[in-house]
Structure 1
Amino acid sequence: MTEPLPAGAPWPRNAWYVACTPDELAKKPLGRTICGERMVFYRGKDGQMTALEDFCPHRGAPLSLGFVRDGNLVCGYHGLTMACTGHAASMPGQRVKNFPPIRAFPVIERYGFIWVWPGDAEVADPAKLHHLPWAESDEWAYGGGLFHIACDYRLMIDNLMDLTHETYVHASSIGQREIDEAPVSTRVEGEEVVTSRTMPAVSAPPFWRMALRCAGLPENDLVDRWQICRFSLPSHVMIEVGVALQGQGGYDADPKLKASSIVVDFITPETEHSHWYFWGMARQFAVDDPTVTDAIREGQGKIFSEDLAMLEEQQKNLLRHPERRLLKLNIDAGGVRSRMMIDRAIAGEQGSEQAAAE
C-alpha cells in the first residue's frame, strides 16, 4: 500500500538512502527517523536485514525499545512479537494474527551500508541503488563516520557543492587562499551535477601534506590540486580530491605521483531541519595501512565538525529570519542546480501519485 506523500515534504521518497552502518545493529534494534518516517532496523533470521515502522500496533510503543528473538522483533512493552513482514506473529495468551500489519520498508545491505527506500515499496528497485565501484575493489581503502546535524539536509548539499568555504571554515586543515582564486565550473553530466576547480602549482595545506607523507611523496614540494564535486539523487555527494606533484599531470598523473581520494557524503534527511550525515574517504594510497585510515578518519572528523557548527548556526539564523531572501553568487551554481534536480524529483513523485488517485 502506498502511503500518502506528506504535504510539502522537501525530499524525494522513492529512492535509496543510507539508513545506518552494520555495526550500529550489532547488539540491538536501531530506531531512526528517515525522511520523516520513524523506522526500526534489525536482523531477522539468518542475518536478514529488516526495516519496519517503529510503532507497536498494540499500544503504540516504539518497537526499537524491544529485542530480537528467533528472528522476530519483540515489543519491549507487552511482548507482542512482530514478523519481518510487519504482521503480528504472536503474544503470550493472546490471538493477534488478525492485527492489521504495520509498514515494512524495502531495505538492502550493500557496500558496507544499510539502505532503505522510504517511499512506495511497489516501485523499489535495487538496480537504482547508487553504484560505488571503490567499495568493491581491493585497490581502495575506506574509513568514515556519522554525524547527526540539526539543519536542513539541503544546506549540507550546498556546503559540499561549493568548497569555497574551505578557505575560511577549514583554514587550519584543507583551506588555502588559492581556492578562492581558482575559477569554478558547473555542469550537468547525465544524472549528476558537477562542480570542479583546479589549483596548479600550490603548496599543499596540512591535511594534504599528511596525505603526501602517507603516499611516500615529498610533502613540501609544490603540487597541482583538484576538487570535483558530484551530486546525484536523492542526496549523495562524491568529491574527487587530490594533489599531484607539480607538472606531472594533475588529476591524470601516475598514481605513484599523487595522493588522491573520494570524499564520500551520504546525506539522509531526518526532519525538515535535521539530517544524518554519513561521511568518509575512499583512497587509493597506503590502502593496506590501517593507521592511515585512522589518521584520515580523525582528520576528517575534525573538519566536518567545523561544518556541523557552521551549518547548525546557519539553520538557526534562517529560522529566525524566514522572510529574508538570500543572495546568490556564481559559486552557488552547483547547489542551485542540485536543488533543482531534487525539486524535479519531488514534483515527479507528486504528479505520479496524483495521477494514480484520479
Structure 2
Amino acid sequence: MSDQKPFPLNAWYAAAWSHEVARALTARTICNKDVVLYRRADGRVAALEDACWHRLLPLSMGRLQDDEVVCGYHGLVFNAAGRCTFMPAQKTINPSACVHAYPAVERHRLVWIWPGDSALADPALVPDFHWNDGTEWVGEGGTFYGLKCDYRLVIDNLMDLTHETYVHAGSIGHDAILESPFDVTHTDRTATVTRWMIGIEPPPFWAKLLGRPGPVDRWQIIYFQAPSVIVGDVGVTLTGTGAREGDRSQGVNGAFLAAITPATETSCHYHWNFVRNFRRDDAELTRAIQTGHVNDGKGVYDQDHVVLEAQQKAIDRNPRMPFYNLNIDAGALWARRMIDRMLAAEQTQMHRPSEAAE
C-alpha cells in the first residue's frame, strides 16, 4: 500500500518571506518535513533537516555560530551543506554524520524550498510570482502559518470565486458572479479561469477603489501554476471603456496572490498578498487594503479561513471522496488533475528499476 502524501515533493514551495529569514534559526514544516532556515553571512539562505544526526533534537532549538548550526543537546555542529564539522569529546568525525540540506532559492520576496530530489531542483522552475516583487505592483501581504486544512482546499477556494457571493457578502461578493459565464483553459502545468461581468453595479470594495459612480465591467482571471501557486487578475472599469478588449486605463486593477505550501496532510502555510498597479505611492491605501483582507477575524481572508478549517473538520468526520462537483468546479478540477499527475509521475519514478538492476 502506498504511503504517498497528497503533495508532490519535486516542486518549489514558499517557505517564508525573505524578511522573515535572518541570522537566526527559523523552523518550518513543509510537506511533512521539518526544516530549519537561516541566513548565512553572505546573505544566502540555508535550509537543513531540523533533526540532529545524533539524537534527533530539532536543530532549531540550538544556535547559529557563524554559518553553522550548533545542536542544543550535545553540541554537534553542522555546516550549511548539512555535514557535521564537530563532535564533542572526540577528534574523529563519523563520515555518515550529516543532515539533509534542502535546495533554497530567493525570488519574488519569498524563500522557496525544494523538498524532493535535490538533483531535480532547477531554479528555472520557481513559479512566476513577479506581481509580488514590489515594483510595478505594490502591496503588503503576510502568511497564515499552520492553517488547519488540506492545501488543496485553498486551491479549490481560489479557483472558484462564486463563493464570494456568500462568504464575502458586503465587500467583494456580488450575484453577478453566479450569473456570468466563465471559461477554463489549461496547459500541462497551468489552468486559467476567466470570467467577465458586464454592466453591473460594483460591490463595495471595488466601488470605493474606483471612486466614480455608474455601472462597471468586472473581470476575474485566475491563473494556477501546479502544484500550489495562484494569481488572480481582478478589477473593474466603467462600462464600455474597452477593458475586455485590453484597455484598462479607465479602471482599477489588482491581483490576489497565493503561494500555498503543504505542511502536513491537513495543514498548510498560506502566503498571501493583494497588490495593485495604481496609486502605488499611497501607503495609507496599502494599509487599508491589507487590513481589509486580514482584520481580527473580520477580513476577507479571515472569512475564507473559517470556512476552510470548518470544511476540513467535516472531511475528517465524514470522509467521502471524491467530492460531488458542479460546473463551477471546473478550474479546481483541472488544478487537482495536474497535482495528481505530478504525484503519479513521482510514484512511477520511485518504483522504476535502476539501470544496474536491469
TM-score (norm 2): 0.92
Question: What's the counterpart of residue 278 of structure 2?
Answer: 285
Paired residue for 1:156? Answer: 154
Query: Deviations for 1:226-268, whole angstroms, at most 9, x for unmatched residues?
Result: 1111111121111110001111112445443111122101110
Is the Cα–Cα contact under 8 Å of residues 44 and 68 in structure 1 kept in the other structure?
no
Conserved? CA contact 2:103–2:113, under 8 Å = yes
Q: CA deviation at 1:107?
A: 0.4
Structure 1 residues 233 and 278 mapped into 2: Cα distance closer, same or farther (>3 Å)?
A: same
Partner of 1:144: 141
1:125-204 matches, cutoff 5 A: 125-136=122-133, 138-147=135-144, 148-189=146-187, 191-204=189-202
C-alpha distance in 1, partners of 2:58/2:24?
A: 13
CA deviations on 1:286-343 (whole Å, 9 max, x unpaired) are: 1122222211111122111111000111111111111465321100111111111100
Structure 2 residue corresponding to 1:85, chosen from 75, 81, 91: 81
Counterpart Cα distance in 1 of 2:54 and 2:112? 28
Residue 101 of structure 1: aligned partner: 98
16-25 or 267-276, which moves further after superposition?
A: 16-25
Cα deviation 1:209-234 (Å, max 9, x = unaligned): 23224xxxx1x322100111111112
Query: Is 1:332 the counterpart of 2:329 in the alignment?
Result: yes
Query: C-alpha offsets along residues 165-218 of structure 1, whole Å, 9 cap, x if unaligned?
Result: 0000000211011111112222214531111211111121122123224xxxx1
Q: Which residue of 1 aligns with 2:13?
A: 17
Supply the AA of the counterpart residue of 2:336: R
Cα separation, 2, equivalents of 1:145 and 1:232: 20
Q: Secondary structure at the match of 1:198?
A: strand
Alpha-carbon offset, residue 76 of structure 1: 2.2
| Structure 2 partner of 1:63 | 59
Structure 1 range deviating more: 137-146 or 14-23: 137-146
1:32 and 2:28 equivalent?
Answer: yes
Name the SS of the counterpart of 1:140 in structure 2. coil
Query: What is the root-mean-square deviation in Å for CA atoms of aligned residues?
Result: 1.8
Could you tell me which residue of structure 1 aligns to residue 219 of structure 2?
226
User: What CA distance in whole angstroms lies between the structure 1 residues aligned with 2:254 and 2:76?
Assistant: 48
Amino acid at match of 1:272: E
- Residue 271 of structure 1 and its aligned partner are, at CA, apart by 0.6
Counterpart amino acid of residue 227 in structure 2 = P
Question: Which structure dedicates a bigger proportion of its chain to helix?
Answer: 1
Partners in 2 of 1:202 and 1:353 — Cα distance? Answer: 52
Counterpart check, 1:299 vs 2:298: no
After alignment, is 343-352 or 68-77 more displaced?
68-77
Asked whether the equivalents of residues 89 and 96 of structure 1 are also in contact (C-alpha less than 8 Å), the reply is no
Structure 1: give runs of 5+ residues left out of the alignment.
1-5
For each residue in 1:124-169, what CA deviation from the matched residue of structure 2 results, as whole angstroms up to 9, or x when unmatched? 1011111233345732213211113101111111111100100000
Find the residue that maps to 1:141 and give its secondary structure: coil
Distance 1:346 1:190, change over 3 A: closer
1-structure distance, mates of 2:139, 2:122: 26
Give 4+ residue runs of structure 1 displaced > 4 Å after superposition: none
Instruction: Tell me how far apart the structure 1 counterparts of residues 186 and 330 of structure 2 sit (CA, whole Å).
Output: 11
Structure 1 distance, partners of 2:47, 2:128, is 22
Q: Contact 1:144–1:280 (CA<8 Å) still a contact in 2? A: yes
Alignment partner, residue 111 of structure 1 = 108
Question: Which amino acid in the other structure matches residue 95 of structure 1?
Answer: K
Kept in 2: contact 1:143–1:281 (CA 8 A): yes
Aligned to 1:3: none
> What is the aligned partner in structure 1 of residue 250 from structure 2?
257
Contact persistence 2:22–2:38 (CA under 8 A): no
Aligned CA distance change for structure 1 residues 80 and 156 (closer, same or farther; 3 Å):
same
AA aligned opposite 1:191 = R
**1:224 aligned partner, one-letter code:** D
The CA distance in 2 between the partners of 1:321 and 1:182, in whole Å, is 33
CA distance in structure 2 between the aligned counterparts of 1:80 and 1:17, rounded to whole angstroms: 29
| Corresponding residue for residue 344 of structure 2 | 347
Instruction: Flag the 1:155–1:92 CA change in 2: closer, same or farther, 3 A.
Output: same
CA contact 2:188–2:338 (8 Å) conserved in 1: no
**Do the aligned residues in 2 keep the contact of 1:244 with 1:251 (CA within 8 Å)?**
no
SS in 1 for 2:139: strand
Is the 1:11–1:35 contact (alpha carbons within 8 Å) kept by the matching residues of 2? yes
